[in-house]
Amino acid sequence: DIQMTQSPSSVSASVGDRITITCRASQGVSSWLAWYQQKPGKAPKLLIYGASSLQSGVPSRLSGSGSGTDFTLTISSLQPEDLGTYYCQQGDSFPRTFGQGTKVEIK
C-alpha cells in the first residue's frame, strides 16, 4: 500500500494568515492526488484533484501543488469557514489511501 503522511498534524492560525499543509507519498503517485476538507460531524468535501485543479465552488484562496511524492495545500488567507480537518488521498494505485489528517484551528 502507498502510505500518505501529512504534516503538521495540526495548525492553529489567525484569520488572514497563510498556511501550508504537506502530504508525502511513500512512492510516486504522479499527479493523482486529491485534497478534502472535513468539518466536525460532516462528510469530507472534495477541494482539489489532480494535485492542483480546484473543484467547482471551492474558493480560489485554496491551491494545491506538487507531483510524484511531495504535495502541498495552501490557504492564502485563512477564513473562519476553513476550520476542519484536511486529508490528502492518492488515486494512483489500489488500495486508495488517505493521509492521517491535518486539523486546522482558528486562533
Partner 1 sequence: QVQLQESGPGLVKPSQTLSLTCTVSGGSISNGNYFWSWIRQPAGKGLEWIGRIYSSRGTNYNPSLKSRVTISMDTSKNQFSLKLSSVTAADTAIYYCARDFSGSYYFFDNWGQGTLVTVSS
Q: Which stretch binds partner 1 (CB under 8 A): 14-22, 58-66, 71-79, 92-100?
A: 92-100
Burial (CB < 10 A; 0-12, 13-18, 19+), residue 15, is: exposed
Task: Give just the sign of the alpha carbon dihedral 14, 18, 24, 28.
Answer: positive
Q: What one-letter code names the amino acid at 56?
A: S
For partner 1, the closer CB: 1 or 77: 1
| CB of 24 or CB of 45, closer to partner 1 | 45
Q: Which residue ranges make up the site for partner 1 (CB under 8 A)?
A: 1, 32, 34, 36, 42-46, 49-50, 53, 55, 87, 89, 91-92, 94-101
